[in-house]
Amino acid sequence: MLPCARLLQLLIICAASLSAGVTASWAQSFPSRPIKLVVPYVPGGGADTVARVMAQGLTEEFGQTVLVENKGGANTIIGTEFVANAPPDGYTLLICTTAHAINPSLYKLNFDTLKAFTHVTMHLGASLLLVVHPSVPANNVSELIALAKTQPGKLTFASYGTGSPGHLSGELFMKLTGTEMLHIPYKGSSPSIADVVAGRATMSFAVLEPVLPFVKSGHVKALGVVMAERATQLPDMPTIGETVNGFAISGFNGVCAPSATPKPVIERLNTAIIKVMTTPAVRERLIKSGSDVLERPLPTPEFETFVRGEVLRWQKIVQDAGVKVN
């Protein structure tokens, strides 16, 4: 008869082997039913467009339907919390964007951004563009600053939500240029851009993808790229940082899953998403629409490290801009 300690050791080994076998088998059969891809924004914005392109590709790749579900509101917190509380089985995923890294510095969240999720892969950057209504008598960033200084508090900037990159871009812009403008938050990119096009708002630090068609049609004027580098789609458009020293905002778009999702399932998702998002037809479609497509999507370990760094970087931007929402 085996000693108790030896018997216990054998039981533990057997249990671990059985668990590993079940997990591996489960991962091999994944997915066996439809997947829900949650977009924490209202329909029509850049994240929504990218999610639908991805969902179509993943549906073909998996042979299972990938459904896009919009859960907008509270600067992505509603949709993000929904996924954080979902079963960790790979069937409920989140499109996580820059707000994912910003929110810990602005809000008291019911989840820990870094602990509640596994950051599966990052496939896009996220470019913003400063645009104004055509009637605004400013054709570059310097002229806009001069105009704002002659009319303190009268110019308005629309954003796609309080605490969004578009909002923080405006706050940082005012702080660095010594100007004063009125912030008008909306529930998504589409309505905020629509009010600039209609002249109900002076300007917006808008997501490039949904605003680019309006730039090309002349319904808005583009004055500068918000990011540190010029946008591929507008190579001749200067960055705001070329005029305003120290101004630069960055963004990202990726996929997250609840943190306890089995590693083999995460690996399956990571491989499939990267395959879909690097397909030449998908890349071309996204680039034409204004998306900042990465040359090399980030796999899970690199994306995890990237998000941790972004949380710290946005913490400093929020502090420097003096933004408080609660």
- The pLDDT confidence band at residue 89, using thresholds 50, 70 and 90, is very high
Give the pLDDT mean for 182-192: 91
Q: State the residue for tokens 């400093």.
A: 316
pLDDT on residue 27: 57
Tallying the residues shown for the chain, one arrives at 326
In percent, how much of the chain has pLDDT > 70? Answer: 91
- Cα distances from 319 to residues 105, 171, 184, 315, in angstroms, run 9, 11, 21, 6
For residue 19, pLDDT beyond 80? no
Q: Which two tokens stand for residue 17?
A: 């082997």
Question: Is the pLDDT at 84 greater than 70, yes or no?
Answer: yes
pLDDT-derived band at 2, boundaries 50, 70, 90: very low
In the chain the domains, ranked by start, together with CATH numbers, are 32-126+251-321 (3.40.190.150), 128-242 (3.40.190.10)
Residue 132, beta-bridge partner list: 203, 221
Tokens of 13: 């080994």
Answer yes or no: are the C-beta atoms of 270 and 121 closer than 8 Å. yes
Q: What is the end-to-end Cα distance of the chain in Å, rounded?
A: 65
Q: Determine contact, residues 209/94, Cβ cutoff 8 Å.
A: no
The amino acid sitting at 229 is E
Average pLDDT over residues 174-187: 94
Q: What is the mean pLDDT of the chain?
A: 90
**Model confidence, pTM:** 0.80
pLDDT over threshold 90, residue 233: no
Highest-confidence range of 49-53, 114-118, 280-284, by mean pLDDT?
114-118
Residue 57, amino acid: G
pLDDT (tens digit per residue) in 197-212: 999 999 999 988 889 9
The backbone region for 124, taken as left when phi is positive above 0, alpha when psi lies in -120 to 50, beta otherwise, is beta
Q: What pLDDT is stored for residue 10 in this prediction?
A: 56
pLDDT in tens, 20-51: 454 455 556 899 999 999 999 989 888 898 99
The 10s digit of each residue's pLDDT in 65-78 is 999 999 998 889 99
pLDDT at 22: 47
